[in-house]
């Protein structure tokens, strides 16, 4: 019979797979809870699916990559063309198809469709061409996909929790947990339900990638961010739950869209909002007690206070902490190149929103943890400018809570020289002339705000000015790196939020512009916290990750090189950063996984770094084993 697993041919193929599986298993050290990074992908995944059911399961589907043996065992010969193609050949085909898509939004849709058909192929294609395709999967491609979510919708991905349906929230989350538990090979060390989810990526979609409130379309940000955890640090995609909390929307254009799929009500605020978030967090903690909760693109009014409110659980806000962490890593690299110290810096931040204040907070923590300054001393190293000018104490209630520590005393600025005495407020050029900063960071989304006059003024007083125009996308960047270097006689140390090509310096040299991409740190931070089973993500763990990332800077050995590692090397970088996070968690008494503790203390059969590599998910086709 065609589907029979009892034929001689099928029995022989099954026996060969079983022998391969037992051979790999026999190579385990009996004291090791994991196999080596080289062997882990040889252990078969067990499934009872056959034929079209197997082909329609993206976690297991290999398409033309199914071997001859697998086609016989799983009844696939009548469902696939004859030739067997390698994963590399499949990637080439998929890439050629992608390149034929005429726009970024269609390229994004193609990648989403590929992910929904063949999980391994999607991640392998992305991994092999990460720098090229990141802008399609995430920004700016994701921003277009979010805005057009309801018109582009094909199939649901992730978890949708709406305010009017919140009474069923637990059941909705349990449904996804049940789905994960039915998935082959998702558990690391057990099949307990509370081990099935490692990471929850959640958004309320109020502040999406510079395009604001996008309602239910925010699920695309959660799924894209989840994919970056896998691409950056090898977190098993089947153990990540992307979530959108549909709190309504204040984007009234969505109300008039007949295709809009979310809850057509104004966004909930106050007590209703807080209770909704509390309910979600409580359910996650009960159902996924070991999971990290990643907050993404919450509005500024909520982002800071929720981060403070839930600081005693393993949670992380990428917009605040991730942006700040990668900026601090670049800054630590820059000051080493400049031969200075962090505490010697005078730091001007242009753009005092969540990203700018997150950067200030992270650098402030660095000043406290790394150089022993107290909170007030550290805050005095900053001058922050927003749309109303320099933050000063007399702004009173006009200051957000996150801005208050950085407001300058009015007496300090009372006698400053101003360019326009008739203009209210103290503006960026005034700050540059009076403070003479060593560091200028832009998070304003004010295109070309760092003018030639301003950059030259800064460069007059500083030997190696550190200039980080971090606004995304490229068109909103505060200064082109080539201009920043030209206006400072190539003395500036530059990092940007968007990717830029190397800058020609003359004499055959070029300056490689670092991209302060959060993906260099937050996936590794998550991986380290997951492996340690940390109860919180502490400032010291975050700082350990920052220090590790900074230590990998190519600029430390070549002044013209990038201040940060290349994004193409993110998987290698993540091993070192995750190891640093784990070791800090152990030192803090915040690591509760016995296996990870043993390796972190040097008592395992391999190094901690090798142990981490062995726990990372790889985009490869593993053998399949048929079970009844």
What was the pLDDT predicted at 9? 43
Q: DSSP of 272-316, one letter per residue?
A: HHHHHHHHHHHHHHHH-TT-EEEE-S--HHHHHHHHHHTTTSSEE
What was the pLDDT predicted at 422? 63
Please say if the pLDDT value at position 243 is more than 50: yes
Q: Tell me the sheet residues that pair with 383.
A: 348
Please state whether the peptide bond connecting residue 473 to the residue before it is cis, i.e. omega within 30 degrees of 0.
yes
Q: In percent, how much of the chain has pLDDT > 90? A: 83
Under the banding of pLDDT at 50, 70 and 90, the label for residue 217 is very high
Q: DSSP of 55-110, one letter per residue?
A: HT-TTT--GGG--HHHHHHTT-TTTS-S----HHHHHHHHHHHHHT-SSHHHHHHH
| CA atoms of 223 and 245, how far apart (whole Å) | 13
| CA atoms of 272 and 263, how far apart (whole Å) | 15
187-206 pLDDT, tens digit each: 444 445 557 899 999 999 99
What is the residue whose two structure tokens read 């398409």? Answer: 63
| CA atoms of 3 and 78, how far apart (whole Å) | 11
Please say if the pLDDT value at position 623 is more than 50: yes
| CA atoms of 161 and 367, how far apart (whole Å) | 40
What are the b/e assignments for 25-54, b being 16+ CB within 10 Å? eeeeeeebbbbbbeebebbbeebebbeeeb
Q: Which residue has the higher pLDDT, 14 or 237?
A: 237
Q: Is 374 annotated as a binding residue?
A: no
**Any idea which of 13-22, 240-249, 467-476 has the lowest mean pLDDT?**
13-22
Average pLDDT, integer, range 107-124: 98
Average pLDDT, integer, range 547-562: 96
What HEC string does 361-399 produce? HHHHHHHHHHHCCCHHHHHCCEEEEECCEECEHHHHHHC
Q: Is 365 annotated as a binding residue?
A: no
139-161 pLDDT, tens digit each: 888 989 999 999 999 999 999 99
Average pLDDT, integer, range 283-289: 96
Helix (H, G, I), strand (E, B) or coil at 172: helix
318-329 pLDDT, tens digit each: 989 999 999 999
CATH number of 321-516: 3.40.50.720
Residue-averaged pLDDT of the chain: 91
Average pLDDT, integer, range 278-301: 96
Q: Is 29 annotated as a binding residue?
A: no
Q: Which of 225, 260, 273, 304 is catalytic?
A: 225
Q: What is the DSSP letter of 566?
A: -
Same fold, 90-313 and 321-516: yes
- Please list, in sequence order, all residues whose beta carbon lies within 8 angstroms of the beta carbon of residue 404, skipping any fewer than 6 positions away: none
Q: How many CA atoms lie within 13 A of 7 on its CB side?
A: 12
Q: Can 138 be counted among the known catalytic residues?
A: yes
Q: Which of 40, 107, 123, 138 is catalytic?
A: 138
Rounded to the nearest 10 degrees, what angle do helices 539-551 and 323-338 cross at?
Answer: 50
Q: Are 215 and 248 in contact (CB under 8 A)?
A: yes
Cα 367–368–369 angle (5° rounding)? 100
Average pLDDT, integer, range 176-190: 57
Largest CA distance in the chain: 93
**Domain locations in the chain as residue ranges:** 8-86, 90-313, 321-516, 520-615
- Candidates 449, 570, 441; CA nearest to 496 is 441
Cα 461–462–464 angle (5° rounding)? 160
What was the pLDDT predicted at 193? 56
- Candidates 115, 45, 118; CA nearest to 80 is 118
Q: Does an H or E element contain 171, and which? A: helix 169-181
473-515 pLDDT, tens digit each: 788 999 999 999 999 999 999 999 988 999 999 888 999 999 9
If one counts every other C-beta atom within 10 angstroms of the C-beta of residue 270, the result is: 7
Q: Is 318 annotated as a binding residue?
A: no
Please say if the pLDDT value at position 31 is more than 90: no
433-472 pLDDT, tens digit each: 999 999 999 999 999 999 999 999 999 999 999 999 999 8
| Tokens coding 339 | 């031969």
Q: Is 421 annotated as a binding residue?
A: no
Cα 128 from chain centre: 18
What was the pLDDT predicted at 188? 41
| Tokens coding 362 | 């992270």
Assigned CATH topology for domain 90-313: Rossmann fold (3.40.50)
pTM above 0.75, yes or no: yes
Under the banding of pLDDT at 50, 70 and 90, the label for residue 210 is confident
């Amino acid at each position: 019979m065609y589907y029979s697993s009892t034929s001689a041919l099928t029995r022989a193929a099954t026996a060969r797979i079983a022998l391969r599986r037992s051979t790999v298993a026999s190579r385990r050290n009996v004291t090791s809870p994991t196999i080596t990074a080289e062997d882990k992908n040889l252990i078969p995944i067990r499934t009872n699916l056959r034929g079209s059911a197997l082909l329609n399961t993206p976690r297991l589907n290999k398409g033309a990559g199914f071997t001859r043996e697998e086609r016989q065992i799983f009844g696939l010969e009548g469902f696939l063309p004859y030739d067997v193609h390698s994963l590399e050949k499949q990637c080439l085909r998929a890439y050629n198809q992608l390149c034929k898509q005429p726009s970024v939004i269609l390229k994004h849709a193609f990648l989403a469709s590929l992910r929904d058909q063949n999980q391994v192929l999607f991640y392998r294609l992305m991994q092999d061409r990460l720098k090229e395709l990141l802008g399609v999967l995430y920004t700016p491609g994701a921003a277009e996909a979010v805005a057009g979510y309801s018109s582009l919708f094909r199939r649901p991905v992730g978890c949708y929790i709406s305010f009017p349906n919140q009474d069923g929230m637990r059941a909705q989350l349990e449904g996804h947990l049940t789905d994960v538990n039915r998935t082959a090979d998702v558990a690391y060390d057990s099949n307990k339900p509370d081990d099935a989810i490692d990471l929850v990526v959640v958004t309320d979609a109020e502040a999406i990638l510079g395009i604001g409130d996008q309602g239910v379309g925010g699920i695309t940000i959660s799924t894209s961010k989840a994919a970056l955890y896998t691409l950056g640090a090898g977190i098993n995609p089947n153990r990540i739950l992307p979530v959108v909390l549909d709190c309504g929307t204040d984007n009234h254009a969505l109300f008039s869209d007949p295709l809009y799929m979310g809850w057509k009500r104004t966004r909930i605020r106050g007590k209703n909002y807080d209770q909704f978030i509390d309910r979600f967090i409580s359910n996650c903690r009960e159902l996924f007690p070991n999971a990290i909760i990643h907050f993404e693109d919450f509005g500024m009014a909520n982002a800071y206070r929720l981060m403070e409110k839930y600081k005693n659980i393993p949670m992380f806000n990428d917009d605040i902490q991730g942006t700040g962490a990668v900026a601090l890593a670049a800054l630590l690299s820059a000051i080493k190149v400049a031969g200075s110290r962090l505490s010697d810096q005078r730091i001007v931040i242009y753009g005092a929103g969540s990203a700018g204040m997150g950067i200030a907070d992270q650098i402030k923590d660095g000043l406290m943890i790394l150089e022993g300054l107290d909170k007030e001393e550290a805050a005095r190293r900053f001058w922050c400018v927003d749309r109303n000018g320099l933050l000063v104490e007399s702004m009173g209630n006009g200051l957000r809570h996150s801005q208050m520590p950085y407001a300058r005393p009015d007496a300090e600025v009372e006698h400053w020289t101003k360019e326009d005495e008739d203009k209210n407020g103290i503006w960026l050029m005034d700050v540059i002339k009076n403070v003479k900063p060593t560091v200028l960071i832009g998070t304003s989304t004010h295109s070309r705000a760092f003018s030639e006059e301003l950059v030259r003024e800064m460069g007059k007083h500083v030997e190696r000015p550190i200039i980080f125009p971090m606004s995304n996308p490229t068109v909103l960047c505060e200064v082109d790196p080539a201009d920043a270097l030209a206006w400072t006689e190539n003395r500036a140390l530059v990092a940007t939020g968007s990717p830029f090509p190397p800058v020609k310096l003359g004499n055959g040299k070029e300056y490689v512009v670092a991209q302060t991409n959060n993906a260099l740190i937050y996936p590794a931070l998550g991986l380290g916290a997951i492996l340690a089973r940390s109860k919180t993500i502490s400032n010291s763990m975050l700082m350990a990750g920052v220090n590790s990332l900074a230590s990998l800077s190519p600029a430390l050995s070549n002044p013209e090189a990038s201040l940060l590692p290349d994004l193409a090397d993110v998987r290698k970088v993540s091993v070192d950063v995750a190891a640093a996070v784990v070791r800090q968690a152990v030192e803090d008494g915040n690591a509760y996984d016995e296996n990870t503790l043993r390796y972190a203390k040097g008592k395992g059969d391999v190094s901690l770094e090798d142990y981490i590599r062995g726990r990372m998910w790889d985009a490869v086709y593993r053998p399949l084993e048929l079970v009844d």
